[in-house]
Amino acid sequence: MVSSKDVARLAGVSQSTVSRVLNNAPNVSPETRQKVLSAIEQLQYTPNLIARSLVTRSTKTIALISGTLRNGFFVETTDAIVNYATARGYQTMVYFREDGLDEVFDLVLGSKVDGLLLATIELDDPLWEKIDRSRIPCVFFNRKPREGGNYVIFDNRLAAELVANHLLELGHERIAFLCGNTNVSTFHDRKAGFEKAMEAAGVKVDPALVHVFDPKIPGEVEKYARKLMHMAHPPSAIFCSTDMIALLCMDAVMAMGYRIPEDVSVAGIDNISISAHQAIQLTSAGHAKFNLGELAVEYLIEMIEQEEKPTEWKQITLKPELFVRRTTARKGAR
């Protein structure tokens, strides 16, 4: 079996120089680096990652605990995280879980990963205390605990205000709101933003138009969309707390024979890629320039590779933008 000693001998360098090249250390000249890489290719050398981790105390592996792949937001963030981590020389262990997080976290700790990305924490989740005690570098994205932690999120209250104000400016007052469980920061803040915008406009929210539920349960979104449109006085606009809820809502509403936006306007939050598809054109709030997952993994790797661990939380809140598309129109427009 080819070893790093064989690579060093062929390249005419020391074994420590081979190690520095493998770890992308900056203090190696381009000529020396090329000699080592050529020797690696010629000998078809594969580093023994287990042996290296025993020496460096680093596995070059991170863990990602993400939400369900039924939500396009998590599909896009997972893809961005894995691609960025790979480019930086890290492997990514991915777990798609919304519950049973304690069990997954124990698996993560047992795998001796270098860091953790987490997108499924609740506001008052006892798991946060366990993560904090473990001292493992951790970055939350999209969701965060009520207090503390490193995170990358949107300003979810502002995102909801942008969408609600857009609908109000179009003349809609009877606006429905379909929202995920408010025990997570994302939905908690989006609901608060919706209520703030409505209150500021002097528009009273009809409680019958607001539904909080678990969007992971199959058929829940469709059930509440049908319930809204079957009302004696249905809403003229439906504001959904995510784009995926909005897409399911649109499907249910159109299946009932209603036209969007002629009969009812629909809007969401997240601005996932499919929302801009020409066949959909969903009005949404989000960010066009940054992927939350990519920013989160960038900050995590930065934390892992710092010689001195940070003493303060790194908390990033991105300002969202409103993307007005074809699913919203002025009330009564035909």
- DSSP string of 260-324? TTTT-EEEEEE--GGGG-TTT--EEEE-SS--HHHHHHHHHHHHHH-SSPPSS--EEEEPPEEE-
66 with 94: CB under 8 angstroms? yes
SS3 for 15? helix
In this prediction, residue 239 carries a pLDDT of: 98
In this prediction, residue 27 carries a pLDDT of: 80
Report the C-alpha gap between 60 and 76 in whole angstroms: 23
Up-side HSE of residue 116: CA atoms within 13 Å toward CB?
A: 29
DSSP-H helix ranges across the chain: 4-11, 15-22, 30-43, 49-56, 72-87, 101-110, 127-134, 156-169, 185-200, 220-229, 243-255, 292-305
Per-run averaged pLDDT (10 residues), the chain, 334 residues: 85 87 79 90 72 56 88 90 91 84 82 89 91 91 94 96 98 97 96 98 96 93 97 97 97 97 97 94 90 92 84 92 97 75
In this prediction, residue 22 carries a pLDDT of: 77
Rounded to 10 degrees, what is the CA torsion of 220, 225, 231, 233? 150
In this prediction, residue 5 carries a pLDDT of: 87
**Helix 185-200 vs helix 156-169: angle between axes, to the nearest 10 degrees?**
40
Side chain identity at residue 55, one-letter code: V
In this prediction, residue 20 carries a pLDDT of: 82
Please state, in angstroms and as integers, the Cα–Cα distance from residue 291 to each residue in 80, 102, 151, 180, 190, following that order.
7, 27, 13, 21, 19
The single-letter DSSP state of residue 5 is H
The single-letter DSSP state of residue 13 is S
In this prediction, residue 324 carries a pLDDT of: 98
Report the C-alpha gap between 67 and 50 in whole angstroms: 29
Please state, in angstroms and as integers, the Cα–Cα distance from residue 80 to each residue in 140, 142, 290, following that order.
15, 14, 10
76 with 290: CB under 8 angstroms? no
In this prediction, residue 56 carries a pLDDT of: 47
249 with 235: CB under 8 angstroms? no
Cα 38 from chain centroid (whole Å): 39
